[in-house]
Structure 1
């Protein structure tokens, strides 16, 4: 494609994204602003659910057609439960990289340009059929040359290659999204709940990290180091000599997909045990290592049979382009949140949400606490299988009421929470698919208990330190008291009271001036009252009142100058 043709395609892509958003904003403006002004609010409310579903379907079609960041936007939107209605998030939650693969000649051209040599001279073999195709790149199996195999100790590898022109596509998509975000801030419902431009910039930062394969390689190395002493967890090794910003070569660790229950059972692996191990590993990533794989969908996690391990298998993670850092303050808030949830403590849950920053301090939490108490009382402790047996109408009514109440609160997502929510939702869905009886409460309670014990031990350490400090002070106190008494007996204790005396003198002067002021007012008022009946006495009192006035005004001037 020539430069002119590419620029034309980018302009057309930009216009398509912007025009789609413009049409949707006009529909929102008409139904949510215009109709209510003419007393037709019921029409807007009655049609809101179907309209949101139609919007989600149209966006799904747009995303699959355009690829690029639009797929990521759909996944991004599906996790914004705090901002978007469930009609949208539900429709988009299953959106994956539903895009056709790039023709191999184009992939070859990118790879050879990055590696600086023909593929035939770099690899012993290179499979032209992709293992997986995504919106930003695709992966191919290959075998290292004899020299590279001897240097790295690896032979079979997977090579990820970015789609041609993906940098320009990402730039075009972000430009369109920035414009749409400015439009969104003119819609009061959006502007009251979310800073759309800031959200786009957060999304942009994540996207730039995803298209930098060297960044992904660094994240993979860090993940491997975090779990280096845990035989249950594995990650691919990086072949740095054959990796660049747009090409990533790593060891081939493909095994049984985590959601392939038939293959797991055929290998003698219990899917429910995989669900438990997977949930525990995700907890470890959040609370122990503060570095979380934020895209744990089935294509990114393999189960490798290993008879040497007690569980009989290990979990292998791949694709570290989307990772979530968990700062210390956020981790502390999440610990409190987990403990509150497992204890069914609605007040503690609200406090944890405020500590994390999800729930603003201005929020009226009374109704939320009552709703959470009702939620725990009715559904607390239920697994997915038990929830499935609940009357759908009861569950729907409760969900709608609770969801409307939560969406009415001033919520926000602090930095990094978006990726964590995505990781949690994918983990929950994965575990329930592996084990229909999977109970998230059972998975969380042992971990919450461990966190409580850690916090208790930390509290005991703090109390012990405080006790030692108090004991040291108590030990030194008799000696210090004895030294002071000895100085008193010897007559060597002196006190500097000069400043105290000056302050007392100043207070005494102020009191006298206040008294003079009161006397002036009394004489002036009394004289004015006596003038009509006893004119000489009244005039005398008025004249004499000037003396206490002069004292009140000028007394202490000399002292203040000293």
Structure 2
């Protein structure tokens, strides 16, 4: 990985922020050392089961320690925790669950600091920039905070409104982000040299994805452009709204936009009091989400309840209520390649073709290059062969023990593979997950996936005639096993040429494992003898160290005894 792409290295960090950097590195080093000991060292001495028994509690403790660290440091570390809590593709649920509750709510900055920041960005005193500016913020997050204000008469006449919300970046947050990213990049370089991790995830790439998103979040001009693009995409949709940007009072670290505060979407009682049916809101929210994803290809990636208001229609008019989105710092985009990959994935699932489904995952960038796709292909084929095409009613007739056994084996195969979702794919999953939770709260009987059907069809038909011809060809392929034979023979020949065909000989495997155990026992015996002799020799000069070495020698001795007995 190249040097930190312009971000400070450890030696270049400002002394004022060095303590923060060291604290992050101490936590990371401690967590890595603990993981290294339990996941790599102990299994080498035959104590894999001991390490496995304590794994859940151990990773939960590490996650809780990080929670405390992030809440205390604030800044980008809270965003790191929120980012990690969504990485179900690479982290165990024990970690993601512990980090779920990490809220981006911190103590507000002193108003004088906010004043200096805003005036420096706008190039004028606050009293000149706004007719009024409330000192107490309506929201305070790790990267910035928001205040209500009123525009001066001249600007209000130009834009057509006077009540605004002003977002001001926390003073010094850019430096904090720089320090935090320097620490994260160094940790990622450490992880890239650990095969246990590098085979499972591309840590440097994950950090760069996170860095790109974070740097966009502290660029308020980028957020303003995203808000305007979103508004343009839905200009003809009366049900969807967004705040208006006041460009004359916006800059890199200050963003002024129309005050669209209304009924919070999760306020069911408030909606009912305004005569708005929560179930109808759920339906429109789902429609809006899939409209963004499948039609506009540009979607709000952080649609939690605090970022969506329900704006009632004006009294005495035919205007109906609408969904009003705010905070466009985190947006996702459906590229042509992602759209094409989703289409291929849907086709493979419909055709129950395990090989094609794995290939679509590779094109989507979901699988790392180190993935053994043969195992996944076999698992998917088995899934399609046994349960493909079954409806919910049919699945209920299957023996629960069979379902449990199949699910356990299938889950182990999936977890063993190096999945890593690309940034936009992750944002897509995050967005749908958040919206699913909101719609369920509004209407417990709402089925999110019923709403996706008409929009998913647009993905399948997005390439018009070519896609239809492709579907026809694949339908023939799926229906005729004989038609697939030449392709399989060709793939087999290709794998033979590349040396990718694995031949399994159980007897040879057994003998190799026996030899490997013998070598392992011999190594443990040598370590035992070395520690024991070193301890005996050290005792006359340093009794404490001598006893420590002698005590440590029992660990490799235990490995020799356990493995010999097992043999």
Q: Which interval holds the TM-score relative to the shorter structure?
A: 0.7 to 0.9
Q: What displacement does 1:256 show? A: 1.2
CA distance, structure 1, for counterparts of residue 454 and residue 114 of structure 2: 48
Shift of 1:153: 1.2
TM-score by length of 1: 0.73
Where does structure 1 differ by over 3 angstroms across 4 or more consecutive aligned residues? Answer: 6-9, 307-312, 335-352, 359-362, 370-382, 392-404, 449-463
2:358 and 2:377 in contact (8 A); partners too: no
**Counterpart Cα distance in 2 of 1:221 and 1:20:** 41
The separation in 2 between residues aligned to 1:462 and 1:338, in whole angstroms, is 13
| Equivalent position of 1:368 in the other structure | 379
Compare 442-451 and 359-368 and name the one that shifted more.
359-368
Counterpart among 421, 424, 437 of residue 413 in structure 1: 421
Is 1:188 aligned with 2:195?
yes
Q: What are the superposed Cα offsets for residues 249-293 of structure 1, whole Å, 9 maximum, x if unpaired?
A: 000111111112221222222222222222221212122122121
1:428 aligns with 2:439: no
Residues 374/51 of structure 1: CA separation in 2 closer, same or farther (3 Å cut): farther
Distance 1:97 1:437 in 2: 30
| 1:278-289 mapped onto 2 (5 Å cutoff) | 278-289=285-296
In the other structure, the counterpart of 1:202 is 209
> How many Å apart are 1:160 and its aligned residue?
0.0
User: Do structure 1's residue 226 and structure 2's residue 233 form an aligned pair?
Assistant: yes
Q: Secondary structure at the match of 1:193?
A: coil
Going from structure 1 to structure 2, the CA distance change for 1:360 and 1:186 (only over 3 Å counts) comes to closer
Which has the higher relative contact order, 1 or 2, with Cα contacts under 8 A spaced 6 or more apart?
Answer: 2
Paired position in structure 1 for 2:323? 315
Post-superposition shift, 1:42? 0.7
The alpha carbon displacement at 1:237 in A equals 0.5
Counterpart contact for 2:295–2:455, Cα < 8 Å: no
| Residue 262 (structure 2) aligned to one of 255, 263, 266 | 255
| TM-score normalized with structure 2 length | 0.73
**TM superposition shift of 1:239:** 0.3
Match of 1:86 among 75, 93, 105: 93
Shift of 1:421: 2.5
Matches within 5 A, 1:136-285: 136-285=143-292
Distance in 2 separating the partners of 1:29 and 1:220: 45
The residue number in structure 1 matching 2:504 is none
Report the CA distance shift for 1:177/1:457 in structure 2 as closer, same or farther (over 3 A): same
Q: Contact conserved, 1:269 with 1:312, CA < 8 A, in 2?
A: no
Q: Is the 8 A contact 1:275 1:431 kept in 2?
A: yes
Rounded Cα–Cα distance in structure 2 between residues aligned with 1:132 and 1:339: 45
Question: Take 1:447 and 1:187, find their aligned partners in 2: how far apart are those partners?
Answer: 42
Number of aligned positions between the proteins: 452
State which of 327, 330, 346 in structure 1 corresponds to 2:338: 330
Q: Is the 1:136–1:211 contact (alpha carbons within 8 Å) kept by the matching residues of 2?
A: yes
Unpaired runs of at least 5, structure 2: 1-12, 472-567
Question: CA 1:212–1:54 in 2, change beyond 3 Å: closer, same or farther?
Answer: same
CA RMSD for the aligned pairs? 3.3
Q: Distance in 2 between matches of 1:306 and 1:378?
A: 45
Looking at structure 1, the residues matched to 407 and 82 of structure 2 have their Cα atoms a distance apart, in angstroms, of: 22
Distance 1:411 1:375, change over 3 A: farther
Farther off after superposition, 397-406 or 172-181 = 397-406
- Measure how far apart 1:366 and its partner are: 3.4
Flag the 1:453–1:327 CA change in 2: closer, same or farther, 3 A: closer
Q: CA deviation at 1:377?
A: 7.1
Alpha-carbon contact 2:308-2:325 (below 8 Å) kept: yes
